[in-house]
Amino acid sequence: MNNDLRRAVLDGSERNGSSASGVGMGSHAFAKDDRITLKHGAGGRAMRGLIETAFLHAFATDPPQLAGVHGLAAMDDGGAVRIGDRWLVLTTDSHVIQPAFFPGGDIGRLAIAGTVNDLAMMGATDVLGLTCSVIVEEGFLRRDLERILESMRETCLEADATVLAGDTKVMGKGEIDGIVINTAGIALTSRLITDCGLRPGDRLIVTGTIGDHGMAVMATRHGLALDTPLESDVAPINGLIRAALAADPTAVTAMKDPTRGGVASVLHEMASKGRVGIVIDERALPVRTEVRGISELVGIDPLLVANEGKAVMAVRADAAERVLETLRAHPLGRAAAIVGVCTEERPGLVVLDTGFGRRLVAEPEGELLPRIC
């Protein structure tokens, strides 16, 4: 089974990474018959290349230096505009996860948590409102739709958020695989936190165990029978982030949620944008025993695997212990840990200290599994 599973997983990743297609960082040259491949939606280097060449080319009417606008060119978890003395943060995500119901959650919970967490990553933890746009396939079971909506309702209650506007579309049988949900959200904050504010000396904190969501979905897809079933960590963590920010309002210098592409992808983006090096202590990374088990079984590093209820934070060194303590006092932050430090050396690079030596962590091409979120 070990080999079969590994092959199945690698087949998936192979498919995911097929057809190189000449989309490079910063390059705008591509062949006339270039086609979109799965990796262009996988959250890593390939997707960043597509966004930088195609989307920013179209929408970069907002220079990042424009006062009062934190726009698309910043490529952050969301955009923001100034309203009076506060920032109004705006974010969106479409959710295409397969299967729609998975251990620990479903597409509805994922959609609410995903948008609430993106807002929280920018320091905006009190949600003003959400939108919910559902696209379903003709023939979709109404009771499944209601179950998903009920899950969204419950997740909204957890996040103290309200859906203010919605939209419903139905596509024909075979025109869409089941259900897709888009959520957008708005929230106000007096202090905007970006993903680029890291400074040498800052400590890096992950707010809990890593790889839970991706490994749980992978195990489900491959019908893996485990002694202890894996569960996704999908949860709205705006309450956790609110507590951490309250502990020291200026301690957090950058924040990002490690979804597609996992913690490794997020660290690369943060190091590159903040122009710092990052050194991670592998032994400090919180990983569930079950996740470590399956990780060794299939040979996939939990650092590369998606999370849906976690944050990676850069925190001023002098405040790191206090923030950590606050995180650990919250039910969703019990396994939080200081896992690394920002350095002046090797800006843009991520180094893993294994305890036996140090190695560079390559920037992932993208999430290994398609439709992970």
DSSP secondary structure letter of residue 3: H
Longest CA–CA separation in the chain, Å? 60
Site for a second copy in 66-125 (CB under 8 A): 69-72, 78-81, 83-84, 88, 90-94, 96, 98
Q: How far is the CB of 190 from a second copy (least distance, A)?
A: 14
Helices 238-247 and 107-120 pack at an angle, to 10 degrees, of: 20
- The only residue of 8, 145, 226, 317 in contact with a second copy, by rule CB under 8 A: 145
Type of residue at 173: K
358 is an interface residue for a second copy by CB under 8 A: no
Return the structure tokens found at 319: 């405040």
CB distance 25 to 45 below 8 Å: yes
Q: How far is the CB of 281 from a second copy (least distance, A)?
A: 32
Pairing label, strands 105-106, 86-95 = unpaired
Give dist(CA 179, CA 165) in Å, integer. 18
150 is an interface residue for a second copy by CB under 8 A: yes
Q: How far is the CB of 204 from a second copy (least distance, A)?
A: 25
Scored b (16 or more CB within 10 A) or e, 268-280 reads bbbbbbbebbbbb
Across 218-367, the runs of DSSP E, i.e. the strands, are 252-256, 277-281, 312-315, 337-343, 350-353, 358-360
Site for a second copy in 37-76 (CB under 8 A): 37-42, 47, 50-51, 54-55, 57-59, 61-62, 69-72
Q: How far is the CB of 361 from a second copy (least distance, A)?
A: 24
Tally of CB atoms within 10 A around 316: 17
CB nearer to a second copy: give 184 or 332. Answer: 184
- The only residue of 1, 20, 157, 246 in contact with a second copy, by rule CB under 8 A: 157
Q: How far is the CB of 179 from a second copy (least distance, A)?
A: 9
> Segment contacting a second copy (CB under 8 A): 149-157, 268-276, 280-288, 325-333?
149-157
**Binding-site string for a second copy from residue 7 to residue 36, where x marks contact by CB under 8 A and - marks none:** --------x-----x-x------x-xxxxx
Give dist(CA 120, CA 89) in Å, integer. 9
User: Which residue shows structure tokens 């086609």?
Assistant: 35
CB nearer to a second copy: give 179 or 312. Answer: 179
The number of residues in the chain equals: 373
CB nearer to a second copy: give 282 or 367. Answer: 367
Handedness of CA 165, 103, 330, 257 (dihedral sign): negative
Pairing label, strands 127-137, 163-171 = parallel
176 is an interface residue for a second copy by CB under 8 A: yes
CB nearer to a second copy: give 71 or 123. Answer: 71
Site for a second copy in 281-310 (CB under 8 A): none
> Segment contacting a second copy (CB under 8 A): 158-166, 227-235, 306-314, 325-333?
158-166
Give dist(CA 166, CA 182) in Å, integer. 9
How many chain residues are in contact with a second copy, going by CB under 8 A? 88
> Segment contacting a second copy (CB under 8 A): 181-189, 230-238, 243-251, 300-308?
181-189
Give dist(CA 255, CA 112) in Å, integer. 19
190 is an interface residue for a second copy by CB under 8 A: no
- The only residue of 99, 166, 229, 249 in contact with a second copy, by rule CB under 8 A: 166
> Segment contacting a second copy (CB under 8 A): 137-145, 195-203, 208-216, 231-239?
137-145
